[in-house]
């Protein structure tokens, strides 16, 4: 008679969800009380982030603008999340093998590298509003295609969604910053919008998982197409709202003048180069983690309910984003570069531990959550530095160009580590950790070189 060993599927404890979400909302609710007790020294540390004293009417106008933008941005994040969360599930449902899925991922990375790189420059030339609508149309096309053909086309979906993700990384932020400046709102108010963008994006990604699960229901055969219908509905709603309510800000000068200014800013201003390299390192590291976190947790045949871990990671990123105003505007008053040095170094240390030391599931989840807390701090802080050092009319081009080397590195990892299997997952994770340490070094150099914003690009 054989021995029967009972196996248990590992799940995170409910207390973890309560801790993450309760801590996030507690951080938000307590911040106004503590910030009112601290002296506002931000304008003295970073003069470019100051502004005129706000009046009740201007404050009300800003809140309407911020609320409207965050609502549409959350819907766009929800759209992005539905397509990404259920991508592999759809591939498996339609009988597409892992090798084919890997080829599709490589095609998507190549598309982001070859075409997505120029989206940012196109956004600066024709206006970010059109690129935001293009982002929605790409999701709309994929959603309609899935419902018409009743089958997922890996090539079409990979290319369109990769281009949509490339556009999403800069188009909404670029439009918001440009319109914020045109409306005459204070520059220091952008900091609140930046961390709220990271917060609502993470919350929307959790919502996309909940929405997708509820639409599919118990029977995947009957409900597999419902998430695509939701994507179509959301895309149409966002396109209509943007078309009616958002204003366009096209390029004022010629394309030649734009190319000269972009070249001077990106390739000759060393501060912008450091900022762009740090952005590329972050994009590469986070993408590597999202590729490898599930295989790392289920290594050695461990059974884990991965669907319950995803909200923990996004909840941790929400918590990290709520810490940003405490560091930059609250009583802590930490300089942005110092905050980023700590966050990049801590995230790199986490990936180093994961790469070279075997861990239990609970420890791995704790490390991954801490990594996403750091990411929640880094994203709004980098956006704030872009406001200091990069002119608004060059913002989209700067972001897309900074992601180009990261997309090339991701494509290399997918080919060498996934397709050819010549590089181990631990080595890839070590590369990601090294990238984060390099980004921390860039922030240290940026702190040493910091003078006044926009000091070099317009002189060349």
Which pLDDT tens digit goes with each residue over 266-287? 888 899 999 999 999 999 999 9
- Range in 168-172, 218-222, 311-315, 334-338 the model is least confident about: 218-222
pLDDT of residue 8: 65
Phi and psi dihedrals of 390, rounded to 5?
-115, 125
Residue 334's domain spans which residues? 252-460
Evaluated on CA atoms 294, 416, 108, 92, the torsion sign reads: negative
CA separation (Å) from 72 to 58, 66, 103, 176? 21, 10, 33, 11
Q: Residues 220, 310: one domain?
A: no
Q: Residues 228, 193: one domain?
A: yes
Q: Residues 77, 135: one domain?
A: yes
Q: Using the 3D structure, point to which of 232, 250, 268 is the last residue of a domain.
A: 250
Q: Residues 95, 202: one domain?
A: yes
pLDDT of residue 49: 45
pLDDT at residue 428 above 80?
Answer: yes
Q: Domain for residue 372, yes or no?
A: yes
Q: Residues 290, 198: one domain?
A: no
pLDDT of residue 220: 66
pLDDT at residue 242 above 70?
Answer: yes
Structural domains in the chain (count): 2
* 96-135 pLDDT per residue, tens: 888 888 888 899 999 999 998 889 999 999 999 999 999 9
C-alpha 314/C-alpha 50 separation (Å) is 31
pTM: 0.90
Q: Which of 20-29, 112-121, 232-241, 255-264 has the highest mean pLDDT?
A: 232-241
Q: 357: closest CA among 309, 442, 299?
A: 299
pLDDT of residue 54: 52
pLDDT of residue 69: 96
Q: Domain for residue 330, yes or no?
A: yes
Q: Residues 71, 215: one domain?
A: yes
Q: Using the 3D structure, point to which of 250, 283, 317 is the last residue of a domain.
A: 250
- Range in 2-11, 181-190, 253-262, 361-370 the model is least confident about: 2-11
Mean pLDDT value across residues 231-254: 88
pLDDT at residue 444 above 80?
Answer: yes
Position 50 confidence tier, pLDDT thresholds 50, 70, 90: very low
Task: Output the DSSP codes for 169-183.
Answer: TTHHHHHHHHHHHHT
pLDDT of residue 382: 96
pLDDT of residue 457: 40
Q: Domain for residue 48, yes or no?
A: no
Mean pLDDT value across residues 151-162: 83
pLDDT of residue 57: 65
Position 413 confidence tier, pLDDT thresholds 50, 70, 90: very high
And the tokens for 244? 């009616």
Strand-pair partners of 304: 10
pLDDT at residue 16 above 60?
Answer: yes
Position 196 confidence tier, pLDDT thresholds 50, 70, 90: very high
Name the strand (E) or helix (H) holding 307.
Answer: helix 306-328
- Range in 168-182, 270-284, 346-360, 439-453 the model is least confident about: 439-453
Position 43 confidence tier, pLDDT thresholds 50, 70, 90: very low
Q: Domain for residue 436, yes or no?
A: yes
Q: Domain for residue 454, yes or no?
A: yes
For all residues of the chain together, what is the average pLDDT?
85
Q: Domain for residue 37, yes or no?
A: no
- Range in 109-113, 186-190, 449-453 the model is least confident about: 449-453
C-alpha 100/C-alpha 98 separation (Å) is 5
Mean pLDDT value across residues 132-149: 91
């Amino acid at each position: 008679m054989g021995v029967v060993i009972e196996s248990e599927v590992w799940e995170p404890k409910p207390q973890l969800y309560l801790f993450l979400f309760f801590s996030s909302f507690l951080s938000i609710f307590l911040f106004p009380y503590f910030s009112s007790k601290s002296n506002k020294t931000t304008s003295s540390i970073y003069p470019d982030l100051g502004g005129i004293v706000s009046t009740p009417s201007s404050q009300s106008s800003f809140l309407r603008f911020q609320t409207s933008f965050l609502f549409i941005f959350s819907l766009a994040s929800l759209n992005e999340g539905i397509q990404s969360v259920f991508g592999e599930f759809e591939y498996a449902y339609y009988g597409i093998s892992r090798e084919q899925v890997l080829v599709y991922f490589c095609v998507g990375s190549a598309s982001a590298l070859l075409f997505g790189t120029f989206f940012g420059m196109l956004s600066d030339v024709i206006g970010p509003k059109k690129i935001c609508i293009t982002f929605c149309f790409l999701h709309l096309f994929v959603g309609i295609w899935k419902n018409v053909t009743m089958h997922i086309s890996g090539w079409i979906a990979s290319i369109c969604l990769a281009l949509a993700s490339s556009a999403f990384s800069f188009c909404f932020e670029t439009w918001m910053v440009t319109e914020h400046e045109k409306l005459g709102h204070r520059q220091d108010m952008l900091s609140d919008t930046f961390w709220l963008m990271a917060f609502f994006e993470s919350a929307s990604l959790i919502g996309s998982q909940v929405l997708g699960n509820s639409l599919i229901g118990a029977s995947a055969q009957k409900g597999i197409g419902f998430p695509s219908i939701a994507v179509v509905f959301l895309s149409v709603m966002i396109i209509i709202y943007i078309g009616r309510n958002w204003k366009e800000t096209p390029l004022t000068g010629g394309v030649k003048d734009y190319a000269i200014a972009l070249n001077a800013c990106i390739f000759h201003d060393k501060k912008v180069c450091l900022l762009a390299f740090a952005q590329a390192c972050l994009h590469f590291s986070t993408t590597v983690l999202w590729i490898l976190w599930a295989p790392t947790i289920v290594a050695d045949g461990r059974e884990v309910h991965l669907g319950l871990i995803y909200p923990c990671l996004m909840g941790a990123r929400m918590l990290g984003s709520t810490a940003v105003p405490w560091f930059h505007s609250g009583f802590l008053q930490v300089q942005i570069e110092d905050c980023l040095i700590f966050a990049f170094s801590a995230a790199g240390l986490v990936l180093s531990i994961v790469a070279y030391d075997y861990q239990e599931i609970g420890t791995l989840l704790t490390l991954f959550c801490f990594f996403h807390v750091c990411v929640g701090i880094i994203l709004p802080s980098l956006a704030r530095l872009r406001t200091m050092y990069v002119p608004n009319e060059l913002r989209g081009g700067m972001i897309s160009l900074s992601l180009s080397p990261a997309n090339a590195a991701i494509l290399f990892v997918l080919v060498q580590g996934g397709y050819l299997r010549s590089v181990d997952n631990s080595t890839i994770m070590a590369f990601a950790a090294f990238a984060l340490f390099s980004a921390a070094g860039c922030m240290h150099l940026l702190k040493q070189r910091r003078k006044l914003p926009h000091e070099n690009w317009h002189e060349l």
